Chains A and B, each alone.
Chain A
C-alpha cells in the first residue's frame, strides 16, 4: 500500500515537472540563483547585496573566504559574482581600468572582453596629448558603463585626524603624511600613529606598500612630488620636457645635499633608477618597484645636472610614476652596500633617520641642510618641527585613544563611525580626502547567468547602494558609475551611476528569462 502511494507521488512529480518543462525550455529558465563570494571584511555589504537581490526574486547566498583562497577559485573561473577592489597609485585610470577590464589583462578576473573598449584604452595609453587621452577615456567609460562587467560600487573617503595644535596639516590623497609642511603650536616633536603593523624597510627600492612609502617620503625626496590632491609638481627636478613621445629630459636642481653632506647630481639619479630597473639591481635582488616605471628602459646622464629618460613606448603618466622613486646617494650606497644602507638610510629629504624598529617606531630629526623642497608646496625651507616619530598602531581604537590623550599628533585611517565623535572634540581636527581605491562586485562574464548583459544590468539596478553606503560605511563613500575614479585623469562626472530601480531590474531579469518576484 505504502509502495503504491510512493509510486503515485513520484508519478505526480514527474508529470508536474513535464508540465513545467516546456516553459523552462522556452521563455523562462526558472529562478536565478547566485552565490556572492567575499572576504570577511566586506561580509555585511555582501549580505546587503544578497538581500536586495532576493527582493527581486533572485536566490542569493553569501560565502566568505580568505582573499588568496578566493582569488585562486576566481581565476579558475569558478565564481559567479564576488566582491573585489583595486587601487590606483597614479591618478590615472591606466592602473585600475586597464589591468581590471582590458581583454586578458592581469587583473581581469571577470573574463570581460570588448574590442571597442580595448581600442579606446589603447588610444588613451599611446597618446601623449591630454585632450586625446581624455576623449579616449570618456569613450572607454561609456562602454564600460553600458557593458557593466561588474556591479559598480564606490570609493571610500580616507579620514585622518590631528590634534588642534598641529598647524598647516592636510591629508593627501596618496596617503602621504607630509611632515615637512606641518608645524606645532606647542613642542617640537611630532608623533604620527600609523595604521600599519610594520613598515617593511627603509630602503626606497625594496617595498611595494603605502605605509612604508609614507615614512620613507619624509626622509627621501624624488624628482617630482604631488600636491595633496594629486597634481605633480617639481621637487628635486627643476623642470622637465618631453623631447619626443618616448624621451624626456629632466633638469636637476643644484645645491641639494644628502644627509651625509654629499651633493646630489645626475649620477645619483641615474644610479637610483638603475637600481630599480635592472634585474638584481639591489645587491643581487630585483627591486619590487621595477614595474612602477612601466616602459622606462633606461635613464642616462646628459650632464652633471641633466638626465634623459628613454622609454620603449609612450608613457604619458611618467611624471606620476616618478613621484614614487626616491633618490638615493650613489657614493654612500656603493661604499656601505644595500643591507647597511637599509639599516642607516641616507636621503636628501627634510628629515634624517635617527633610530627605530620597523614594527615599533621610526624616529627622525630635522635635516638642517635641506634644500627646501618643492617651491610649489609652501612653506619652502627646512622642516618646522625638530623631530618626527612614526609609531606603528595597528588597532584603530588605540590609535584614536592615543590621539585623544595627546600621545600622538596625527593618525591615519580613522574608522568612519568614530570620525563623527572625534569631530565634536575641540582639541581635534578631522579631515577626509577622496580615496584612490575602487570597490565593486565583479561578475563572471564568460558563463551563465552573467554572460547575459540583461542580467548584469538587472543586478546593477537591483542594489540600493545609497542605503548600503549610509549604513555600513557611515556615508563616508562616493558612489561610482564605473571603475573610473573622480580623483583620476579622464573621469566623466556627467555619467550618473545606475540608480536603485527594482522594477527595472525585474523586467530585465524577466526579459532574460528568469522568474522574478
Chain B
C-alpha cells in the first residue's frame, strides 16, 4: 500500500474539495445566466427574416430551453458528472472542444504576463528597498503609480501604434503568423516550439506575445514592485538580518539569502491572486490583440446567451483559481519551512 506524507494527504484533500466547489459554481453560473433577460434563440434569430414564433419555439424545444429551470439544471448536472460539458448553441460544436482550443492561449498569455511582471517588479522593488528615498526609489514609485493607473485598453492601443505602426518591430495582433505553427503537442505554442526545436516558430510566437503580455503584465509588475519594496524594507530591519550583517556576512548575501527569501512570502500571495486575475481578467487585452483565448469566448458567449459555454468556462476559471491557490500554499512551505499546509 502506498503511504502518503501528511502534506500529500492535505494536497489530495484540497484537490478533492474542488469537486463540490466546481458544482456549486456551475449551479450559480447556470441560474445567473438564465436570470438574464433574453435567451440564445432570441438573440440569434432576433431579426431574422420570416422566422415565426413557432419556429423559434421549436428551436427552443430542440435545445431543451422550454423545460422548467430545475429540470434543465438537473439534466445539465447529470451531463457534467458524465464529463459532458454540452454543445455550444451559437458555435455548433462541443463546449469541451472550444475550451480545449482557447484555454492554452489564455494560459500562455497569463504566464508570460506574470513572468514579465516578476522580471520587472521584483528587481525594481528590491532596488527601491535597498536605497529608500533615493532617486531609484522615487522613480520606481512613480513608474508603479503609472503602471497601476494606465488602463489596458489604452496602453495596448498605444503599444500597437508605437511598436507596430511607427517602429514596425512587432506584429499588431494575432498569436502566430500563418505557416509558423509548430507541431501540436500541448497547444501552448511557445512550449510546443521549444519541445519540437522549431526556432522560427518560437521567434514568431515570442514576437506576437510581447505586446499583449506587457500590456496585461504592467499593472501586476507595479503592484509586485510596491509589495516587494515594503516587505523587503520590513525584513531588512529585522533582527536576524542585523545579526547576519554583524556576523560579517557580505551585504550581497544578506540581501539574497537572508532578506529576499523571506520578503518573497507576501509577493507569492500576491502573485497567486494576480495570476488568477490574469487568467480570468484578460478579455480586453485579448480583444485588442485578437488573441484567441478564453476571455473573448466567455464575453462573447455571455452576450449571445450561449449558456453551455459560459457555464463551463466559469467552472474552468473557478478550478484554475483554486489550483493556483493550492500552488501558492505549496510554494509558502518551500520558502519558509515553518509554514505547513
Contact = CB atoms under 8 A, between A and B. Distances in A.
Contact of B37 (A71, A94, A293, A398): A71
Q: Which of B48, B49, B174, B288 has the most CB of A within 10 A?
A: B49
Contact of A407 (B49, B52, B171, B296): B171
Nearest to A356: B178
B42 interface: yes
A134 to B, nearest CB: 20
A95 B49 contact: yes
Considering the complex of A and B, which 6 residue pairs feature the smallest CB-CB distances, nearest first?
A68-B38, A291-B51, A95-B49, A360-B292, A72-B37, A402-B172
Contact of A395 (B36, B50, B164, B173): B173
Interface string A393-413: 111011001101101000000
Contacts of B38: 67-69, 71-72
**Dominant secondary structure at the B interface:** loop
B287 A197 contact: yes
A99 B47 contact: yes
A357 B292 contact: yes
B161 A401 contact: yes
A466 B36 CA distance: 37
Interface string B287-316: 111101000110010000100000000000
A168 B62 CA distance: 45
B287 A395 contact: yes
Contacts, number: 137
Interface residues of B, number: 45
B300 A197 contact: yes
Interface string A172-193: 0000000000000000010000
Contacts of A229: none
Nearest to A393: B290
A37 to B, nearest CB: 14
Contacts of A87: 47
B239 interface: no
A363 interface: yes
Contacts of B44: 208, 288
A200 B178 CA distance: 20
B265 to A, nearest CB: 39
A334 to B, nearest CB: 18
A359 B43 CA distance: 20
Given A294-B49, A405-B164, A392 B92 contact: no
Contacts of A339: 93
B10 interface: no
B290 A286 contact: no
A15 to B, nearest CB: 47
Nearest to A84: B47
A89 to B, nearest CB: 6
A200 B90 contact: yes
Nearest to A66: B37
Given A291-B49, A407-B171, A397 B160 contact: yes
Contacts of B91: 198, 200-201, 358
Contact of A201 (B92, B172, B289): B92
Interface in A321-379: 339, 342, 357-361, 363
Contacts of A106: 51-53
A362 B219 CA distance: 33
A361 B296 contact: no
21 contacts: A89-B49, A94-B49, A95-B50, A106-B52, A189-B178, A198-B297, A201-B91, A206-B92, A280-B62, A286-B58, A288-B48, A292-B50, A359-B297, A360-B175, A360-B292, A389-B178, A393-B290, A395-B288, A401-B165, A401-B172, A405-B164
A291 B48 CA distance: 7
Nearest to A70: B37
B101 interface: yes
A385 B174 CA distance: 22
Interface string A189-211: 10000000110110100111000
B164 to A, nearest CB: 6
A231 to B, nearest CB: 19
B95 to A, nearest CB: 14
A392 B164 CA distance: 17
B300 A99 contact: no
B80 interface: no
B59 interface: yes
Given A200-B91, A359-B297, A394-B287, A405 B168 contact: yes
Interface string A74-118: 000000000000110110001100010000001100000000000
Contacts of B171: 407
Given A198-B296, A339-B93, A360-B290, A208 B45 contact: yes
A444 interface: no
Nearest to B300: A197
B45 A291 contact: yes
B288 A398 contact: yes
Contacts of B101: 357
B32 to A, nearest CB: 14
A227 to B, nearest CB: 21
B62 A359 contact: no
A426 B12 CA distance: 64
Contact of A200 (B36, B92, B292): B92
